[in-house]
Amino acid sequence: MSIVLVDAGGTNIGSVRYALQRLGVDAALSADAAGIRAADKVILPGVGAAGPGMARLRELGLVELLRSLTQPVLGVCLGMQLLCAHSEEGDTECLGLVPASVRRFVEAPGLRVPHMGWNTLVARRPHPLLTGLVEGDQAYFVHSYAVPLGDYSLASTDYAGAFSAVIARDNFHGMQFHPERSAAVGAKLLQNFLEL
């Protein structure tokens, strides 16, 4: 099985790659369109802001390629947000693969932004990506923007209201949290993706 990590400049690429190595998978790091298209599975990691993230994908000539992929694709953190239609962050047009607009958390007393730390994942509907997820399982989040709930939401987390923690639409999947920093739960969900 060939796994490609899209080399779009996300600072979490190394840690995602290491998490996959712990699962016995050596993922190639690539910005090469032919290599990405030929992979069995594609992972779009990302940390940072939506505008520069999309600018980097355009610069690499990967926007239309990513939109055309038919194999399982996983967006992680910012990578998940980039799968959506639009982000309020920098008023950015994203890939448009999931019909959602990414919104900034509204700051309120006692509510820190960015949302940072361990939070509980709540399954909203059955999906192979969530196999083995049990009540009370937690994942590690670091983000200021979130994807609202919709029919694409597989799991949610509550931080001043529920938002999408795991999404899927067709062959495109996303995890808002960092599975590579989420201990056994993150490893399990990454393994589930590899088995899709």
Which residues lie below 8 Å from residue 28, measured CB to CB, with a gap of 6+?
A: 2, 3, 4, 5, 35, 39
187: which 2 tokens?
A: 């490893």
In terms of C-beta density within 10 A (0-12 exposed, 13-18 middle, 19 or more buried), how is residue 54 classed?
Answer: buried
Can you tell me which residue has the tokens 């920098």?
90
Beta strand 138-143 with 153-158 is unpaired
Return d(Cα 55, Cα 46) in angstroms, integer: 13
Task: Write down the catalytic residue from 77, 94, 143, 173.
Answer: 77
Task: Write down the catalytic residue from 64, 135, 180, 195.
Answer: 180
Task: Write down the catalytic residue from 115, 143, 173, 178.
Answer: 178
Give yes or no: 84 in active site. Answer: no
Residue 77 backbone zone (phi > 0: left; psi -120 to 50: alpha; other: beta): left
Can you tell me which residue has the tokens 């007393």?
109
Helices 183-195 & 13-22 angle (0-180, nearest 10): 80
Give yes or no: 180 in active site. Answer: yes
Return d(Cα 152, Cα 166) in angstroms, integer: 9
Give yes or no: 178 in active site. Answer: yes
Residues catalogued as catalytic: 77, 178, 180
